[in-house]
Amino acid sequence: MKIGNFKIDQNSPVFIIAELSANHNGSIETAIETVKAAKRAGANCIKLQTFTADTITLDSKKEDFKITQGTLWDGQYLHDLYKSTHLPWEWHQQIMEVAKQEELICFSSPFDPTSVEFLETLNVPAYKIASFEITDIPLIELIASKGKPVIISTGIAEQEDIELALDACYRMGNYDIALLKCTSSYPAPIQEANMCMVKDLAERYNVISGLSDHTMGNIVPIVATAFGAKIIEKHFILDRSIGGADASFSMNEDEFTSMVKAVRQAESAIGVVDYTLTEKQLSGRDFCRSLYIVKDIKAGDVLTKENVRSVRPGFGMHPKFYNDILNKNVIVDLEKGTALKMSFIEN
């Protein structure tokens, strides 16, 4: 998978996405400053959401449209919430231009066919399918048909939902897919993160896998990295004090910077499968065990358990020879503390 100039595969660095979401807080100036802050924080990408209240829900006061699931937004109607949080479409191009100037990749999550077609006019390099849209098979087919990488969050998905979404992409001839483990709670409890799913998604479905995270802090992204996540997405905000629908579970610049650093350190710690030793590790072998004379002996004496032992450091014979050299004669005088060599022993 390649998004913009960033290649994502099992050998690449983690692709780190800063999710703007509603954190523009109704101000294009705030949105632009958030893009610049994301670059400073070490993000590879800034991601938008493209919808209007009317493209994502209905303007209805029926109980079905009232949020009552124990969320941050309980009591609000869906249309009112989305009307207050959507990113105006006329801002998209300017935000994307700023992202380009900052050398950040920028794409979006569309929520209906009109937003897909609008984003096509902006030549976005990829598409993200939000957790709650994973069941919208016609939308996924349309997105996949554009022939660009598709990143799918699995927050509310059962296994069948994932498979239906993948099949929708495959029908459109699109196999350039990533699946993100996501817990669709805001904020998400860390005990529900289930980061072992990151590895399972990759292996079960033969895709790039990653994390769309709503937990607080950077522990879950670090664990995700250890389990092979190649994409990590976090909500990003200039300052939680500005408020907004997503402020409480979004990272500020300092926190995001710390997360990026931790993820990069985790990548370094994971390393590669390699049994060869570095020069520094090789020097450490000086302190491993080897065979030493532990009691003064004379030429012709026999090596016994009383006069030769395996001790530190490692300048003598390998301990694997211990049983072989017992009861053999030495041909030179040897003082206590002498590293035993094969040349000291009678053939």
Q: What is the DSSP letter of 147?
A: -
Q: CB-hemisphere CA count at 13 Å for 60?
A: 9
pLDDT in tens, 26-82: 999 999 999 999 999 999 999 999 999 999 999 999 999 998 877 777 888 999 988
Instruction: Mention every residue, 6+ apart, whose C-beta is less than 8 A from residue 128.
Output: 47, 107, 108, 109, 150, 151, 152, 153, 233
| Banded pLDDT at 282 (limits 50, 70, 90) | confident
Residues in the chain: 347
pLDDT above 90: residue 140: yes
Q: Which amino acid is at 172?
A: M
How would residue 204 be classed by pLDDT, with cut points 50, 70 and 90? very high
Beta strand segments in 130-192, E = 150-153, 177-182
Report the distance separating Cα 193 and Cα 151, nearest Å.
19
pLDDT band for 296, please (50, 70, 90 cuts): very high
Render pLDDT for 1-27 as a digit per residue (tens, 0 to 9).
999 999 999 999 999 999 999 999 999
- Are the beta carbons of 235 and 277 closer than 8 angstroms? no
Q: Which CATH class is domain 279-344?
A: alpha beta
Is residue 285 scored above 90 in pLDDT? no
The b-or-e profile of 100-123 (16+ CB within 10 A means b, else e) is: eebebbbbbbbbbeebbebbeebe
Cα(111)–Cα(126) distance, integer angstroms? 14
Token pair in block for residue 182:
């996501």
Q: What was the pLDDT predicted at 248?
A: 84
Tell me the β-bridge partners of 64: none
Strands 127-129 and 150-153, by their bridges, are parallel
Tens of pLDDT along 266-276?
Answer: 999 998 888 88
pLDDT tens readout for residues 331-343: 999 999 999 999 9
- What average pLDDT does this structure show over 297-312? 97
Check residue 272 and give its pLDDT. 84
Note whether 180 and 153 are within 8 A (CB). Answer: yes
Torsion sign over Cα 167, 173, 178, 180? negative
Site of tokens 């990151």 = 198
Fold for 8-51+86-270, please state it. Answer: TIM Barrel (3.20.20)
Domain ranges of the chain: 8-51+86-270, 279-344
